[in-house]
Structure 1
Amino acid sequence: MTALTSPPAAAPRQASPLALALRRFRRNRVGVLSAWVLAALYLMALLAGFLAPYSITAQHPDFPHQPPQRVRLVHQGQLTRPFVYPVEKTRDPVTFASTFAENRERPLPIRFLVRGDDPARYGYSFLGVFQSQWHLFGVPGGTAFLWGTDKFGRDLLSRTLVGAQVSLTVGVIGVLISFAIGILLGGVSGYFGGRVDGLIQRLIEVLLSFPRLPILLALSTIIPARWPSTWVYLGIIAVLALIGWAGLARVVRGQVMSARGVDYVQAARAVGASDLRVILRHIMPNLSSILIVTATLALPGYILGESALSFLGLGIKEPMTSWGLLLRDAQNFETLSLYPWLLAPGLLIVISVLAFNFLGDALRDAADTQSR
């Protein structure tokens, strides 16, 4: 009898570098949590008009600096649907200070998918395509200020949600513009070298020698005060991108200088490939992981830059709003001690900046092929 021989075992299939990077990223719980937090923040910004119960310009003159109203589920010992108690404003006869007290006799039920009847108070532009007055929740016949109001009686929750559209998109658009400039000049500088490299590097050194905040203030003063809010928004992005490309250009230059000496790049040049083809087909694809990590780590700088300019009164103007502009109402300790809820936009700035930093660190560790 002839012995039966088993077929040779198939060679194990090796995972691609992208699959290995994703596997390493999933092991970083803080990075994964940060990615979900940022996804929630950007989804919130996308649906801000629908999630916000009021328009950002709607004023309630009877409720300036009203404290946040609590959402409750129990009324007089019975479990009910979510509701808030109406708030009544009174004035102290001695100090003339305004005080707010809940009327616990008449609960106001919170309704979902409600439609406002006043376009000036409830209307918004959904995705910039069409006007709508539908909101996720509301209190028909009453008011619900879950995060309180500002000095004009405007709902802070609505203004914070809509302000996320400005604060979060400034970073994305600014990074796209600065990366286009940085990749172009850094790639040219690292690939060609010589006098071109020296000229670009001297320009980068000049830009990096200036302190960031003073040069931001100087450039922002160039924006005319008579410009409409949309133009000011674009001007702030241009200012941030103008000084944000220098650091990236230096990183790209170093990577291109090391990549142009590898064998496959030299082979492509030897067979007559054009410089543009060598850069786009053989050098830039190998920089994608570095560029993604650098972009993620650069986004918090744009968010903080816009917030600082708006906080100082040189950024976003009314009727637009942003997190930095909302923080202008909390500039002194007296205001903070009386109305601490005005710091809520600052908390979102901290959360978004930390999430971007943690995500960038996780992506950098995942893209590090030399790590283990």
Structure 2
Amino acid sequence: MTTQVFLDTVGEERPAVSPLKTGAPLEDIAVAGQWRLIWGRFIQHRVAVGAGIVIAVFYFIALFVEFLAPALPEASRPQYTYAPPQSIGLFVADESGGTRFQPHVKGYAIEVDPVALRRTFVVDDTKIVPIGFFVEGPTYKLWGVFAMNRHLIGPLNPTDPMYLLGTDKLGRDLMTRLIYGTRVSMSIGLVGVAISLCLGVVLGSLSGFYGGWVDMTIQRIIEVISSMPTIPLWLGLAAAIPLTWSPLQVYFVITLIVSLFGWTGLAREVRGRFYALRGEDFVTAARLDGSGERRLIFRHILPSLTSHILAVLTLAIPTMIVAETALSFLGVGLKPPVVSWGVLLQDAQNIRTVATAPWLLVWPAAAVVVVVLAYNFLGDGLRDAADPYES
């Protein structure tokens, strides 16, 4: 195994440094690559690292929703309409008067409001519903391919009620629907940002590299799009979607609408960086070496903006998630049977829900808040780490 060796200013040999560690000497930092410098600075930002872990957990949930959900999102039991959340207990009393380990939830009892004459559910401490891990339950298809019936958690008896986050107006498990909504809401941000990335980087690069009439045309287009009121425009375009379209078609159209107006900021930032870099010595050297315009743009100038673009995109993803949630909440975005956080919030916007089942609003809203905050903290950390030489 060979060791790479560098010569310092006094002619002495020293081995290359790997990996870069916190508090490394200046001579070690001097030989580190760009991405190594960024990573070394990013891991010092503990809040950003924690936010990255939170986001990774949400995407893990989105990847395995069928296995993690205790039931199916469309399964309803009207006899448990607006049932309150249950809490998990670990020990139960045995016949000898002691306790034994048995994960469980408490069952439900029915009460009638003497004033409103309305049936309500309350948790009954005398009813024990045993639960377990990797239990058999409703059959599903993992990723639409593999037929399975194992769930991470669920009641040992499939007919027993287990609603850790409560139920909605049709007796559907909110925890299951919240987990399934994670896949749609988290993926729509990635797809929307991918479209915005292509438009913003390509148009911004052309605008900043060529200048002249190309720059003027692209900038006028950006100004026209930026001057439009975003929410009313989104509402108008989303309301124009035909009602006969399938949920999959509506999903892609909503993604397109959300991303159609999200590329302008990135395009302007890329244009400004190209203006600043196109006259640098390394660009001139590459041009004199015979590099064509396309190679100059995509092999020399654009890679120097990769870290900055990554930070900008990380901050743009929560905007896409909030936009989809807002459209669905207002009733012009995704609609049932598609399950997203916005759809769950839209289902909960009535007086009875606020009065009798506030958990239908709390949990989807909490998921949106946590993800948006995590993305913003992660974006801040990446933005700070993108310039490793900043003090």
Using structure 1 for the length normalisation, give the TM-score: 0.92
Q: Distance in 2 between matches of 1:89 and 1:133?
A: 31
Conserved? CA contact 1:310–1:316, under 8 Å? yes
Gaps of 5+ in 2: 1-10, 16-26
Q: Distance in 2 between matches of 1:79 and 1:211?
A: 61
Corresponding position of 2:314 = 296
Conserved? CA contact 2:59–2:186, under 8 Å? yes
More strand by share: 2
Corresponding position of 2:222 = 204
Task: Give the Å deviation of 1:257.
Answer: 1.4
Q: Distance in 1 between matches of 2:13 and 2:271?
A: 46
Corresponding position of 2:365 = 346
Task: Give the Å deviation of 1:88.
Answer: 2.8
State yes or no: 1:162 paired with 2:180. Answer: yes
Q: Distance in 1 between matches of 2:174 and 2:85?
A: 9
Q: Distance in 2 between matches of 1:98 and 1:80?
A: 34
Task: Give the Å deviation of 1:324.
Answer: 0.8
1:13-56 superposed Cα distances (whole Å, 9 cap, x missing partner): 43223222212111111101000000011101111111111100
Corresponding position of 1:221 = 239
Conserved? CA contact 2:108–2:127, under 8 Å? no
Corresponding position of 2:110 = 89
Q: Residues 242-257 of structure 1 correspond to what in structure 2 (within 5 A)?
A: 242-257=260-275
Q: Distance in 2 between matches of 1:225 and 1:58?
A: 24
Q: Distance in 2 between matches of 1:128 and 1:265?
A: 49
State yes or no: 1:60 paired with 2:77. Answer: yes
Task: Give the Å deviation of 1:329.
Answer: 3.0
Task: Give the Å deviation of 1:248.
Answer: 1.0
Conserved? CA contact 1:64–1:150, under 8 Å? yes
State yes or no: 1:51 paired with 2:98. Answer: no
Q: Percent identity?
A: 43
Task: Give the Å deviation of 1:332.
Answer: 4.7
Q: Distance in 1 between matches of 2:144 and 2:273?
A: 40
1:268-297 superposed Cα distances (whole Å, 9 cap, x missing partner): 222332111111110111010011001000
User: Greater shift after overlay, 332-341 or 311-320?
Assistant: 332-341
Corresponding position of 1:124 = 140
Q: Distance in 1 between matches of 2:61 and 2:192?
A: 20
Q: Residues 165-314 of structure 1 correspond to what in structure 2 (within 5 A)?
A: 165-314=183-332
Corresponding position of 1:99 = 120
Corresponding position of 2:39 = 22
Task: Give the Å deviation of 1:94.
Answer: 5.1
Conserved? CA contact 1:63–1:89, under 8 Å? no
Conserved? CA contact 2:84–2:123, under 8 Å? no
Q: Distance in 2 between matches of 1:267 and 1:93?
A: 86
Corresponding position of 1:109 = 130
1:303-335 superposed Cα distances (whole Å, 9 cap, x missing partner): 000000000111111111000110113325653
Q: Distance in 1 between matches of 2:336 and 2:192?
A: 21
Conserved? CA contact 1:114–1:136, under 8 Å? yes
Letter in 1 for 2:379: G
Letter in 1 for 2:48: G
Q: Distance in 1 between matches of 2:13 and 2:308?
A: 38
Conserved? CA contact 1:66–1:148, under 8 Å? yes
Task: Give the Å deviation of 1:78.
Answer: 2.1
Of the three residues 365, 380, 389, the one matched with 1:361 is: 380
RMSD over aligned CA atoms reads: 1.8
Corresponding position of 2:87 = 70
Cα distance change of structure 1 residues 8 and 289 upon mapping to structure 2, 3 Å threshold: closer
Task: Give the Å deviation of 1:113.
Answer: 1.1
User: Greater shift after overlay, 101-110 or 267-276?
Assistant: 101-110
Conserved? CA contact 1:167–1:306, under 8 Å? yes
Corresponding position of 2:20 = none
Using structure 2 for the length normalisation, give the TM-score: 0.88
Partner of 1:112, secondary structure, is strand
Conserved? CA contact 2:84–2:122, under 8 Å? no
Aligned residues: 361
1:169-211 superposed Cα distances (whole Å, 9 cap, x missing partner): 0010110011101111111111111111101100000011112
